[in-house]
Structure 1
């Protein structure tokens, strides 16, 4: 609702929500089917980090990370386990990483379900952690603010939390391009007054995972910064007007 209200107000004023904003750069979100050629093209286009979904099979997760990391030696890495491990397996995976890989990990997202006790142990082991609260944030346990955890913020489903320990990483929920651009706007607005060195790589280039269509095509090609479409609000003025709308 906030997206629709904010977008509508800007359109009524004839203004783009992106006026005066810098679009944060993003990591490359790599599906399991990604080819070595695609990764090398992404590196040549300026991507500096990759994010992968990690398997609960620890040996397979390590093998895939090792293979991908060898293709692009300068990249940093972000792994998302979607909470599929337990605390002990999370520690086991972290300890299995050779030092040269550990130093290239930005964060490991949701290695196991969050609890203060479990995640304190992971932090004590040196694991850089990121937390995606999930859609059921009402029933999540409170997070101790003194734990050095990066918050993954998805504006399509939650407001940006206050009093964060680390700068948040904004990502999309891989929804319609209008929704993806809402995440882009929220990230750019949040970091409006930040220095470039204070802005972490976000996860806003998920349009690259979709088959091309007229909306996707306006968000730019293989580039770490989303191209925002011209127009008012979040853009796509003419294309949205041309859609067959029905009152419910």
Structure 2
């Protein structure tokens, strides 16, 4: 009996302990959940209060700015508007200068590539030499595009391009009494017009239209004849105040 009574008391004690432990754990969980909920609510309230404070501050700033602008007299308001316009124009012009810088860098790269293997000698007149050089490169590019972009040009000018015929001699023979010097004073469009008038190939009209579209119609023949000379040197005279003209030559590398 004593052993049974002891076992019973032990079981009751263990059951009471388990019950108290479960109640304690449940209470702890409840308190933790309540604490977390309270913390989340306080955090949300704090964030809402911060947003509200920020919006009120922005609204107050806008109100003060509007009041300040309204308080400006006509002269002050005009000055402020002028200042704002100047800032906008400055930004636009700076953007334009940046675009021009990129264009200039691209042009310099193209020029450097074109002159990479050239043997250039400059004798005085550097500024004039550079201007002439740029125009010469532009002329060469334009002529290349003219010939490559027109099947008619390649067909008609084939013998002159491959060296099997002389452009100046053929032209002088066609025009009869016109001298070589007079031919060089003609423009491309005037030359083509004379050739068509003298009964030349009908495709010369198409060639004239192509020359106009490429901006070569008003180009003097002196530039074409000078550019077709292969290895012939070109001179670019440079003149300064009270100075003797100084030549500037660019000799292509062999």
* TM-score under structure 2 length normalisation: 0.19
Higher relative contact order (CA 8 A, sep 6+): 1
Kindly indicate which of the two structures has a greater share of residues assigned to helix: 2
* TM-score under structure 1 length normalisation: 0.20
Kindly indicate which of the two structures has a greater share of residues assigned to strand: 1
> Could you say which structure has the larger radius of gyration?
2
